A and B are shown apart, each in its own frame.
Chain A
Amino acid sequence: MNILKKLLGFLWLAGGIAGIGYLPFHAAQKIAEGKQEDIVFWSIMVFIFIPILLGLSLFGWYAIKGEYEEL
């Protein structure tokens, strides 16, 4: 079980990093379309989800380091 926790840790870490790379790119495309609602919505999405994705990466990092083994 602990090996699986560690292996999946790579998935959470990679998922978080991929999201951090993709989200601003996609948001910029939407914002460039110039719709007022899109500007607010996608700005908020970036503002909110970047820290969450950082959190997911950190969770993955902790899992790889075995921080959740004893739970």
Chain B
Amino acid sequence: MQTKAATERSKIWSVITASSVGTLIEWYDFYIFGSLATILSEQFFPKDNPTAAFLSTLATFAAGFVVRPFGALVFGRLGDIVGRKYTFLLTLVLMGGSTFAIGLIPGYASIGVFAPLLVLLLRLIQGLALGGEYGGAATYVAEHSPAHRRGYFTSFIQTTATLGLFVSLGVILGVKNSMGAADFASWGWRIPFILSIFLVVISIYIRMKMEESPLFAKAKAEGKTSSNPLKESFTKKGNLKMVLLALFGATAGQGVIWYTGQFYAMSFIEKNCAISFDQTRYITAIALIIGTPFFILFGAWSDKIGRKAIMMVGMFLAILAYQPIYHKMYELADIKTKQEIPSQKAIETQNDVSADIATTTIIHTYTDGTLLKETKKEKLNPTTADKPEIKQEKVLATGGFWMMVFLVAVQVIFVTMVYGPIAAFLVELFPTRIRYTSMSLPYHIGNGIFGGLTPFIATFLYESSKTQTNPAGDAFAGLWYPIGVAAVCVVIGTLYVSGKFQDMEH
């Protein structure tokens, strides 16, 4: 009896590992593409070429959100017809293969416009594959899990975003430090992409050894699988109404909370608060380490008290807390509220005659330990049209640093509340025969579109807040987007979503 239980335990962990490695690669790719964006744009998308710049914009948008819902439809359908195992094996090969291939494309200098075209094509394949990956992973784990621990086991998939970030940072920093910045910018940036093949091979090996999901295998043996899951999912009212409920009552809110906590916060600290690049990443990384175990905690808790309550409370708390949290973050870095120590002011000037540039660096020290580094670059012989380029970078003192970590960690905990139980929530909403298709679409619209658009819409709101009377704009205007979407989602989720546990064996 004990041996059987041990085998079952070992099997579910193999299933979780097999599923999570794919989503880990997904995140690994997401972060390396983002982290290396500057180098990639120099290699593939030179700004002086309008076609390349246009393709760059398309590549960013296309893979981020346009293609993913289509991938959800294509691979969801395949997963409900052929099976979970082979479908998410295919998505893994396509996704990992595309990441690997990006590392091999010759630059714009070698093959001209074919370079950005190939990158765009690979990004489209990646986006399509991404649309099928998560639904497959979540369905596969959920269909192997015992009903009373489904939230706990599926929550492990949710932790891969953090792991993906750390793996990508480790690989990028390791490669960069081993060869120097110049070589890295020239050719070393390809290595993180090429190295992804190891993750893919390991993952394929693990997934090949796995069996088909028991619920799907049973449905198939009984001839109960769907011959047209798309039609059944989106044209039959009984299921379509649940797809709409999943989107507007859960995934849309989850998407914006997730992107705000894990991405917008970082962008706000770096751009609006002008905190240094390194310190911003330390703050985010530590907050993620603190927050990540809560995915599992809330996933497990959702097995006891239900998915809905935790997700709705998470969204509600985020709605209430975002404005005060971001005001506090801004205040921590606001030098107007700090007192400078004039005796510690340091000024350094460097003149580069060959480049005709004078660089003046001023370091201000404040009584709370905050440092402000102001770098001013100007022409040595300026004309009236030349304006100096001024860059500000702050480094918070220990107290401010840890307070900032705390404020981001709180947001990550909101993320874990809405994101931890969501896989179990979604798979339980739909029957086995059309589960992969039905859950993938609302998930990717929620995450890819509502969530993925957060930085763009937030920036749009901020820019729109700039008026003649307030040319600086409202730094917090962007928050109204996640707050608004989450508020609608809380109302719909609270009123319309059932709090009862759902039986998946249908």
Contacts and interface: CB of A to CB of B under 8 A. Distances in A.
Interface of A: 1, 4-5, 8, 12, 36-37, 40-41, 44, 47-49, 52, 55-56, 58-59, 62-63, 67-68, 71
B54 interface: yes
Nearest to A63: B496
Given A58-B244, A62-B244, A8 B237 contact: no
B65 interface: yes
Grouping DSSP codes into helix (H, G, I), strand (E, B) and loop, the A interface class, with mixed when no group exceeds half, is: helix
Contact of B65 (A48, A58, A63, A71): A48
A71 B52 CA distance: 51
Interface in B67-101: none
Given A1-B495, A36-B54, A71-B496, A44 B244 contact: no
B258 interface: no
A43 B414 CA distance: 32
A8 B240 CA distance: 19
Nearest to B445: A52
B66 A44 contact: yes
Nearest to A55: B244
B58 A40 contact: yes
Interface of B: 50, 53-54, 57-58, 61, 65-66, 237, 240-241, 244-245, 247-248, 445, 449, 456, 491-492, 495-498
B355 to A, nearest CB: 30
Contacts of B66: 44, 47-48
A50 to B, nearest CB: 12
A37 B57 contact: yes
Contacts of B237: 62, 67
Nearest to A47: B66
A68 B61 contact: no
A34 to B, nearest CB: 13
Given A48-B449, A71-B496, A41 B58 contact: no
A3 to B, nearest CB: 11
Contacts of A12: 248, 492
A68 B54 contact: no
A49 B149 CA distance: 36
Given A5-B495, A52-B247, 10 more contacts: A1-B495, A12-B492, A36-B53, A41-B57, A48-B66, A59-B248, A63-B496, A67-B241, A68-B245, A71-B497
